[in-house]
Structure 1
Amino acid sequence: MASSGAGPAFRPGIPKARRAFAGFTLLELIVAFAVIALLLGLAPVAFGKLMETSHYRSTVRHMLAGMTATRQLATQTGQSAAFFVDMEKRVFGPQGKVDYALPESVQVRLIVAGVEAGQGGGSIRFYPGGGATGGSVDVFKRSGDGVRLRVDWLLGSVTQEPISR
């Protein structure tokens, strides 16, 4: 069927109103912009939580690795070695390399033997025979959830267990 020059061609199945207007209504645009604004408003909150979780996990990994490395150092060198946590300066690490900083979003609680407790912190000492002074380091998120890194005094093994305040 041919079309005359006086209007759009007739297409079966497409309503006449739909042929004449192809675009978005004002209501559709307002809804789309509202959804975009809502998503942009939530992005900083989600990013902040993502960063806190990242700092927390990184701290736990570094502490666990530091304790394990300190234990290995003691058994390899035949001399005792200590893993330090300085609560005032908010740093931790193995003997001679106390340079990992604690992020502000992470809280730490330290439980060590009396001889290893010091001003504003303490240490867990590992011995060449495999033992340790024992103790634990609790690492918490702002939400209160966290993990306990426990050092067994007899075997010197380091384990991780979930805790909540």
Structure 2
Amino acid sequence: MAAQAGKVRTPTSATGTEPLRRPRDERREGRRVAAGFTLLEMIVALAIAGLLLGVVPMAAGKLYESVEYRATVRSVLGALRAARERAAAEGRPVRFELDLRGRHYGEAGRPPERFPDDYRVDATLAATERDGDGIGGIRFFPDGGSTGGSITITRPSGQGVRLRVDWLFGRITQEPPDEGRSG
């Protein structure tokens, strides 16, 4: 006798052959279920977004100022160290120049870098290294010594740093601007 032909359902998904149905919720029987957000939820979400849009630009401005300040301090510190290392490597004195009026700094004979306009820059330099008109420098010698001095960089917020160059060993240190001053 031959096998009887029958209707066979082939699975169309990993979950079986039944179409997807929403599980029955006895509490919602007979009621229409609304999907979406309530007006109150939308108002709260928009209020939070508005607050964020007001705070983010202020925080970004402070972040940019902080990054710019740190980059400036690193740049001056790097230029001082490069001048010191060049003096030792080449066996000749090398001068780090500072133009307070023109707001430039860098190693003599190389393109100068510029201080940002809103920073205050002060310097204490040896009398022999001051050329007048706000121009001066710190000279590094091949034996490791220097003429010494300090450069104070102050941000618009009043915070600052002093880069101090030791005359005996030419060592360059970073310290708060009011440290080392007698009142």
TM-score, scaled relative to structure 1: 0.84
**What's the offset of the Cα at 1:10?**
4.5
Q: Which amino acid aligns with 1:78?
A: G
Larger Rg: 2
Give the whole-Å Cα distance in 1 for the aligned partners of 2:55 and 2:103. 31
Q: Which residue of 2 aligns with 1:124?
A: 138
User: Is the 1:110–1:121 contact (alpha carbons within 8 Å) kept by the matching residues of 2?
Assistant: no
Matched, 1:22 2:35: yes
Counterpart of 1:79 (choices 92, 110, 113) is 92
Name the structure, 1 or 2, with higher relative contact order (CA <8 Å, separation 6+).
1
Among 120, 128, 140, the alignment partner of 1:107 is 120
State which of 18, 43, 51 in structure 1 corresponds to 2:56. 43
Structure 2: unaligned runs, 5 residues or longer: 1-21
Report the 3-state secondary structure (helix = DSSP H, G, I; strand = E; otherwise coil) of the residue aligned with 2:145. Answer: coil
Which of 155, 170, 179 is residue 141 of structure 1 equivalent to?
A: 155
3-state SS of the aligned residue for 2:177? strand
Q: Which residue of 1 aligns with 2:15?
A: none
Aligned-pair identity (%): 45
Structure with more strand by fraction: 1
- For residues 71-105 of structure 1, the C-alpha deviation after alignment (integer angstroms, 9 at most, x for no partner) is 11112222211111111221111111242111134
Quickly say closer, same or farther: Cα 1:19–1:96, change in 2 above 3 A: farther
| Distance in 2 between residues matched to 1:35 and 1:46, nearest whole Å | 16
Q: Which structure dedicates a bigger proportion of its chain to helix? A: 1
Size of the aligned set, in residue pairs, is: 157
RMSD: 2.4
Aligned equivalents of 1:17 and 1:67: distance in 2?
A: 81
When residues 18 and 62 of structure 1 are mapped into structure 2, their CA distance, relative to the original with a 3 A threshold, is farther
Aligned equivalent of 1:150, options 164, 169, 181: 164
Deviations 1:24-83 (A, max 9, x none): 111211111111111111222111111111111111111111111101111222221111
**5+ residue gaps in structure 1?**
1-7
Give the superposition deviation at 1:164: 5.7
Whole-angstrom distance in 1 between the partners of 2:57 and 2:136: 37
Q: 1:90 to 1:16 in 2, by over 3 A?
A: farther
Contact 1:71–1:156 (Cα < 8 Å) also in 2: yes
TM-score by length of structure 2 reads 0.76
Partners of 1:47 and 1:75 lie apart in 2 by 42
